Structure 1
Amino acid sequence: MERKFSIGVFDSGYGGLTVLKSIIETLPDYNYIYLGDNARSPYGDHSFETVYHYTLQSVEWLFNKGCKLVILACNTASAKALRNIQQLVLPEKYPGHRVLGVIRPTAEIIGDFTQTQKVGVLGTRGTVRSNSYPIEISHFFPDVEVFQQSCPLWVPLVENNEHLNEGADYFVKKYLDELFVQSKDIDTLLLACTHYPLMISKIAEYIPEQVKIVAQADIVAQSLLNYLYRHPEIENELLQNQKRVFYTSGDTENFDQHAAIFLEQAITSLKMEW
C-alpha cells in the first residue's frame, strides 16, 4: 500500500500556531504535525549558523515523523535557513520532500496593500538583519520602499502574556515610533513575526488610522492551498484524517498553556526527543 504523509509545521516556539490555525481553517482535512523548538527559542538573536543548524535538525526530525512537506512558520528560520535547506540539503538527501517558508508568499502580495509604495516591516533582530524582506519584495514590487524595525521585546511580552497590558505600551510605542521616524508615509505595516498578530489591537493604538496592518497567517494558508493545487503529485501523498499532533522540545505543560492562547483551543502536546 502506498505510504501517505502528514504536513509538518515548524516554529521556534509558539508563534507558528497562529499560522497553523489559519492553515487548518483553510485546509481542515489534512493531518498536521506541529513542532515547537521551545527549549532553544527565541531564534531571533541567534547567529545564521545556529538558526540553520537548529532548523535543519527540526526539519529532519519532522521528515522522520512522516512529514514529506514542512512549512517553516518561523520568519527567522525562513530568513536564515530556508534557502540553504532547499538548495543544498533537499536535492542531495531528500529529493522527494519539500520545505516552504513564510517570507516569499508574503512578499508576493504585500505590494498590493500599499498606495504610497512605502511598507514597514516589524520583525525579530534576525529577520531584520537578514534583509530577506527588502530583497524578496524588490523582486515582485521594485517600486516599493521597505523600512524595517526590529522589536526584540515583543516576543517575550507575548510569551509572558503581558502583550495587552499597560506595561507593554512603552515598548510598543517605542518600536513603532522608531519605524515611522524612517518615513511618515508608510501606509502598510507587515507583522513579520508570528507572535505579533496577538498584539494587533495594541499596535493599532499607536499608528495612524489609515495604516493597514498585514498579518501573515492567512497569506501563508492561501499560498499552501495554491501550492497543493499546482502540485497534485504532493497533494496526492498527504493523509486526510484531520489528525493534529503537537510536539515541543520544551516543557509540555507550559507549551499547552501558551498554545491555548495562540490556537484559541486546548491541546495536549508531546515531548519530542532528538
Structure 2
Amino acid sequence: MKHNIFTFLFAATLVVLGFVFWQSEFLYYILAAVIVAYVALTVYGVFNIEANYFLSSIHKGKGSSVTLTFDDGPDPEQTPRILAALKEQEVKATFFVIGKKAEQHPELIRQMVDEGHIVANHSYSHHYLIGFFSRKRLRADLERCNAVIEQITGKVPHYFRPPFGVTNPRYADVLQDMGMLSIGWSLRSLDTQAKNKYALIERILVKIKKKDIILLHDDRAVTADAIDDIVAHCEQKKIAIETLDWVTKTSPYVS
C-alpha cells in the first residue's frame, strides 16, 4: 500500500538529509519539515478513504452505470420509506448496516434481501473510536456484525465500509484476514448535512457521473425525500442504476 511506500521514502529521506546536512545549522529545521509533511500525509490517508493510503478500496464501478449505497441503518422510520421508494422505482441498492441496529430491526434486514438489495457490513458498534481499536477488537466487531447478518439472512457479507471512512493499517490486516472487500465511494452526497431535499438533490445531480458509487444514509428523512428525484434524473440522463456487485464485478457475499 501507499503507506508502506511513503514510510520507506520518509525513512530514506531522513537518512540522506542527515548525511548531507549533518553540519548545517538548518538540519533540524529541514528534518522537522520532512516529519511534519509525513505526519500530514498520514493524517490525510487516515481520513480520506479515496486515497487508498492504507488499504485498497473500491471507489468506482466498471461500465456506464451508477450504484446507490446507504450507510448507518437500519432505521425504523427512514429505512422503510427508502425501501418503499426503491421498490416503486424498481431500483436495487446496497445497505451497509450497523450490526447492533440490525439486531434491533431484523425484519428490515430480511426485507432488504427479499426485495433484491445487498446487505453489507458497516461494523457492529460503529463506535466513534473504532479507528483506535486493536486488531483483535476490530476483528471481533466486524465478525459480530457478519454473524448478525448471517443469522438473519443466511448470508455472510463480502463487502465492508469503514465507519466515518477512516482507515489505518489495522483495517488492512483485518480485512485481508477475513477476506472482505473495502468499499468506498466516488460521490459523497453529504446528506447528513443537507438542510432539505433540494440542497441534497442539487449536489448529487450536479456531480453525478457514470461509474459513480454514491454514498447516502438511510437514517435521514432528507434522503428518503430525495430518492424519486435522484432516480428520475438518472433516467433522464440515461444513466442506469445497478447493484454494487454488478458495477464492480465482485461477489456481495462469501460463498
TM normalised by structure 2 equals 0.32
Richer in helix (by share): 2
Q: Whose Rg is larger?
A: 2
Richer in strand (by share): 1
